[in-house]
Structures are given as structure tokens and as C-alpha cells.
Amino acid sequence: MKLYRVLLFALCKVLSNRASTNPHNMSALENVRSLRLNSIYGNGDRRNDILCCHSGDVDRFDSLVVFFPGDVQDYREAMESHLENRKFLPWNLEDVGLTLLGQFPTSLLFVVKASQVTGGTFACYRNFVTSNHLGIPQFTDYYGSWKHLEVLIANAIDQLGFPASHLPITLIGFSKGCVVLNQLVYELSESWKECSAFIDKVKAICWLDGGHAGQNSTWLTDTSRLKILAHKMSNCKFQVDVSPYQVRDRSRPWIGRQENEFVQQMMAAGVDIRVFMHFENEKRSIENHFRVIDQFRPFWLTK
């Protein structure tokens, strides 16, 4: 509990200057619809809540975008009622969903909530990766994460009644949400036999300023696993967006080193990857960390 209080205090302190005005323009998209899907079953008895967002005709979706948010982020009313996190309301899940739809206006968007949020702050993706109460992951050879994601998406689509089961998939993780992407990569080899048809639907994976409170495996650097990723998902696009908040944190220097090693190994493996540094000449700030979501532009869609 002592570690939890220290981390909570530190997070609240660095976020205290977060502007209270909402940066997201809710009029940017027309006919935006959102629906909360509660306790959707995935693999076994694992369940996750999903926020579904889309704009326009449901018969014209060209892709499915699945987003895993980070710490602090929650539904609007949950953040409003949280003593500390109400200051960070602009980064609620509904408005972040709008921001992402701005980049994927013809897509169906699923925002997958962590199954547990300690203290209303620390996201714990225990349905996807072994984690402690602060969401610090312990990656394993097999956790059933691909299977959970496959069944979770299928059940959500079935509940919606949308013609979306055939769509190509883009996976995006932000901050703590990147631990889900890392576990998927970690267990790719073991999950291939049972989930290869689903995995083949994944056409893009994006890491947005990944990080967590642990000291190991913020970014994956296991050469053999990255080679498997490059081989099994050779037709996939990969994108990394970072800010000084994570990769230039002097108190956590391993993040920058691991991110660089991850990128270099991915390039050496010959994958189609792009890397973007945002706010490079600005002072490190939690605000710019969150603003990476606003700055994110999927390179394969950018003209």
C-alpha cells in the first residue's frame, strides 16, 4: 500500500497543472455515436467493458480500431467524481474516442477498458497480461491474450449486430495500454496455431508513448520474439509515437534505451515501421504525454 500511495501522489502532482478545458472538438465529426458495452465475455470467464464509437453508416466501415487506454483515463462521470482525476477530465475515454475517430473516420472504434483500475487511477489489464495491483506486467509465453481479444471482439460485434467481423484490425496502445500489445507480441508464437486466422486480420499495431511503473520490459527487446513478430506479421504496419516524458525520463532511463533497442531490432528485421518523436524541443510534461494522442497520425493513411 505504501508504494501505491507514493505512485498515486506522484502521478497527481505531475498532473496538477493539466488544463481543465477540453481540447477535443466534438463538432469535428458528424453523426458520432457511442455505446457502452458492459462485461463483454472474452476468453473463458474474462470480461471487459468496451466503449464503441463510430461515425456514419455502419455498413461502410473499412476497419476496426481497438484502443487500450492508460492510467487515469476513464468514463467522463468516473473522472468527474474522482477527487484527483477530475482535473484531467479532457482525457476521458469518450473524448479520446472522438480524437481517434478523427484519424479513422470510416472505422468502428472499440476502446477496451482495463478490467481493474486501482484507486480509480492505475489501469490493470489482468485479462490480457499477468499484472499486480498497480498494473505492472509480468509477460509470459502464453496467457491466452490473443484468444481473449478474438472472442471479446467477436462478442462485442455480435451484441452490436454490425457487419464488422470481416474488417481489418488496427491495435493501438497508449501509455499503460501498451502492456497489452507487448503481451500479444510475447505470446505470438504460442498463440499462432489457435488464433492465426484472427491474427492475420491485424494490419497495424501502434505504440503511443508506452510506459508503466515497473523497471523491466517497458519495450520488448527479446530478439527471438521480435523476429517471430516480423515473420508472422510481415504484412502488418508498425508505428511508434513517443515524447520526452517517457523516453527522456532521467529517473527511468531504461525506457529510452529499451524503446531505441526495440525500434532498431524491428528495423533490422525488415518490418514496415515508422517512429515519431513529438514535442522534442519542449520541456517534459505529463500534458505533452497525453497530447501524443492528439498528434498521432497513422502513417499508412497520411497523404
Q: Which three cell numbers stand for residue 289?
A: 504525454
259 located within any domain: yes
CA 18 – CA 37 distance, rounded (Å): 29
b/e 219-249 (16+ beta carbons within 10 angstroms → b): bbbeeebbbbbbebbeebbbbbbbbbbbbee
Residue 61 belongs to a domain: yes
Q: CATH code at 212?
A: 3.40.50.1820
**Angle CA(68)–CA(275)–CA(277) in degrees, nearest 5?**
90
- The answer to whether residue 138 sits within a structural domain is yes
17 part of a folded domain = no
In-domain check, residue 110: yes
Residue 14 lies in a domain: no
Q: Which domain holds residue 59?
A: 27-295
How, if at all, do strands 202-208 and 107-112 pair?
unpaired
What is the tens place of the pLDDT at every residue in 138-165?
999 999 999 999 999 999 999 999 999 9
List, for residues 210-253, the tens digit of each pLDDT value. 988 787 789 999 999 999 999 999 999 999 999 999 999 999 99
Domain membership of residue 22 (yes or no) is no
Give the angle 290-97-15 at the CA atoms, nearest 5°: 25
Q: What is the pLDDT of residues 34-54, one digit of tens each?
A: 999 999 999 999 999 999 999
Q: Which residues of 101-125 are buried (b: 16+ CB within 10 A; e: fewer)?
A: bbbbeebbbbbbbbbebbbebbbbb
Residues 217 and 258: their CA atoms lie apart, in Å, by 8
Domain count, the chain: 1
Question: For 177-195, how does the pLDDT look when each residue is reduced to its tens digit (9 = 90+)?
Answer: 999 999 999 999 999 999 9
Q: Please, which pLDDT band fits residue 29 given cuts at 50, 70 and 90?
A: low
pLDDT reported for residue 60? 87
pLDDT score for 46: 98
DSSP 8-state assignment for residue 90: G
Say if 13 falls within a structural domain. Answer: no
Helix 93-103 to helix 286-295 angle, to the nearest 10 degrees? Answer: 40
Q: For position 85, what pLDDT does the model report?
A: 83
DSSP state of 162: -
pLDDT surpasses 60 at 122:
yes
